[in-house]
Amino acid sequence: MKKVLLGVLGAGLILLPTVAASSSFEEFQQQQRQGLQQFQQDFDAAFQAYQDAFNEAFAAYQEELRAHWQEPLLTDRHTWVEYSQDQSSRSIVDFQANQIRIEIDSEKSGGSADAAVELLVDVINRPVDEAVERDEVTQRAIEKAGLPSESLGTQGQKRVLNEVQPEHAEQMMNEAEVSQRQEPAPDGSQREVIVLTVPLPPSRTTDKAREYLPLIKRHAKHYDIEPALMLAIMHSESSFNPMARSHIPAFGLMQIVPGSAGRDVAQVVYGEDRVFSPSYLYNPDNNVRAGAVYLDILNSRYLRQIEHPESRLYAVIAAYNTGAGNVARTFTGGSTSPAQAARIINEMQPKDVYDQLRAQLPYEETRNYLDHVARRTLAYREFE
C-alpha cells in the first residue's frame, strides 16, 4: 500500500497509509466538531444555570425586602447597597451622586441618629471581601449555581471606600444632613425613617482613578491597550465602584459578563472555557485584567481589519458595550460580519465613523456610551 509523508517529528518520519489517513482524518474532524459542539452546549448550559440562579436570587431577595421597605433598593453598576441582618436599616453609596445615604427605621433606633452614624463608620471601613460575603444576591446565586467562592486575596482586603479615610468620618458628619420621612410599615401603618446623607469627597472620582491607575497600567502594557481608554471605560461602566453589579449579570469595575466576554477572556488567560464566579470578578486585579484582555480581543481579533486607529477605537468602545456584531450591523445594514463592516469603514473618515455609530447603533444606551467613553478617553490622556 502506498504511503504518504505527513511530517517530521524530531528526527523521525511519520508515515501513514493513504486511505487510512484520509478516513481517520475525516473521523477526527467529525469527532472534533461534535466535541466542540457539545462543549459549547455544556458551557452555555452552565452560564444559563448561573444566570437563572442570579435572577431567582435577585427576585427572592427583593421580595423579602418589600416586607421592610417601600422601595427595595439593590446594588447596581453605580450604587452599592447593604442591609442590616434584620433588614431594618440600609447603607446606600451612590457613586454618581457622590454621597452616602444611611436609612434606618426610627423605632429600631429609638428615634436617635446615633445608630445611623454607627452604620456610616461601618460602611466606610468595609473591606471588599467582606462586602462580597454580605451580598445576599451574590452568595445565594453562587450557592444555587454551585460556583466556587474564590478568595479575593490582598485586593479583597482593601476597603470598598478606600479613597475615604476612616479618621475623616467625624469631619464628614459635620457636612451631613439628617432628615426624616414617612413611609408605609409592613403592618399598613406609617413609620418614620431617619435618613443621614453624607457627601463623599469632591475629589473621589479622581482619587479612585489614581488608586487603580497602577493596576490598569500593568495590564494595559501587557495587552497593548491605552490606559486612558481603560480608565474611561471603568469610569463609565461602574463609576469606579468595585462592588458594581448589573442585571445581566456583569460584575466589578470593568463590568465583565461571566458568559460572553468572560469566555473569550478565559480562553486567553487560562487556555480553556470557564464561567467566572462573581468572587473572581470582584477581585479588582482579576477584573482589570479581564477588561484589558477583552479590549485586546476586540482590537486585535474581531475588529483588527479596521485600518485607521481612531476609527477602530470608536468601534472597540461601542463593541465593549454591545458586541462586535452590533457594531458591524451599523455599517452593513444587517450583516454581523466585522470583516464586511471593516471594508466599509476603511472608506470613511474617523469623524464619519463616529457620527454613524452615534446615529445608527441599535441601542440608545450604546450611542450614549460611545460619547461618554470617547470624551473621557481624551480627558484621561491628560490625567496620565
Q: Please tell me the predicted confidence (pLDDT) of residue 29.
A: 59
Q: Tell me the backbone φ, ψ of residue 97, rounded to 5 degrees.
A: -80, -10
Q: Is 233 helix (H, G, I), strand (E, B) or coil?
A: helix
Q: Please tell me the predicted confidence (pLDDT) of residue 15.
A: 41
- Residue 25, pLDDT > 70, answer no
Mean pLDDT to the nearest integer, 131-137: 95
The model carries a pTM of 0.86
**CB neighbour list of residue 86: distance below 8 Å, 6 or more residues apart:** 108
Extended beta strands in the chain, E state:
3-9, 12-17, 79-83, 89-94, 99-105, 177-184, 190-199
Distances (CA, A) of 232 to 94, 164, 328: 19, 22, 23
- Residue 375, pLDDT > 90, answer yes
Of 20 and 190, the structure prediction assigns the larger pLDDT to 190
Q: Which set of grid coordinates corresponds to residue 312?
A: 477602530
For the ranges 10-19, 29-38, 282-291, the one whose mean pLDDT is highest: 282-291
Q: How confident is the model at residue 11 (pLDDT cuts 50, 70, 90)?
A: very low
Question: What distance in Å separates the CA atoms of residue 227 and residue 220, rounded to the nearest whole number?
Answer: 6
Question: What distance in Å separates the CA atoms of residue 22 and residue 60, rounded to the nearest whole number?
Answer: 57
Mean pLDDT to the nearest integer, 302-308: 98
Question: What distance in Å separates the CA atoms of residue 366 and residue 299, rounded to the nearest whole number?
Answer: 18
pLDDT per residue over 207-225, tens digit each? 999 999 999 999 999 999 9
Of 370 and 19, the structure prediction assigns the larger pLDDT to 370
Count of Cβ atoms closer than 10 Å to residue 365 Cβ: 11
Q: Which long-range contacts (CB under 8 A, 24 or more apart) does 361-367 make?
A: 361/318, 361/322, 361/326, 361/327, 361/330, 362/322, 362/326, 362/329, 362/330, 363/322, 363/326, 365/321, 366/318, 366/321, 366/322, 366/326
Tell the residue number behind the cell numbers 490582598, with chain if given.
154
Q: Please tell me the predicted confidence (pLDDT) of residue 148.
A: 78
Show the domains of the chain with their CATH numbers: 64-199 (no CATH), 204-383 (1.10.530.10)
Mean pLDDT for all residues in the chain: 87
Of 73 and 151, the structure prediction assigns the larger pLDDT to 73
Q: Please tell me the predicted confidence (pLDDT) of residue 33.
A: 59
Q: Please tell me the predicted confidence (pLDDT) of residue 133.
A: 94
Percentage of residues in the chain having pLDDT higher than 70: 88
pLDDT per residue over 49-90, tens digit each? 889 999 999 999 999 999 889 899 999 999 999 999 999 999
Q: Please tell me the predicted confidence (pLDDT) of residue 23.
A: 63
Count of Cβ atoms closer than 10 Å to residue 31 Cβ: 10
Mean pLDDT to the nearest integer, 375-380: 97
Q: Please tell me the predicted confidence (pLDDT) of residue 227.
A: 98
Q: How confident is the model at residue 3 (pLDDT cuts 50, 70, 90)?
A: very low
pLDDT per residue over 167-181, tens digit each? 777 777 778 898 999
Of 107 and 196, the structure prediction assigns the larger pLDDT to 196
Q: How confident is the model at residue 332 (pLDDT cuts 50, 70, 90)?
A: very high
Q: How confident is the model at residue 5 (pLDDT cuts 50, 70, 90)?
A: very low
Q: Please tell me the predicted confidence (pLDDT) of residue 32.
A: 58
Q: Please tell me the predicted confidence (pLDDT) of residue 370.
A: 98
pLDDT per residue over 88-129, tens digit each? 999 999 999 999 999 998 887 666 778 888 899 999 999 999
Mean pLDDT to the nearest integer, 190-219: 94
Mean pLDDT to the nearest integer, 249-258: 93
pLDDT per residue over 152-163, tens digit each? 888 889 999 999
- Residue 324, pLDDT > 90, answer yes
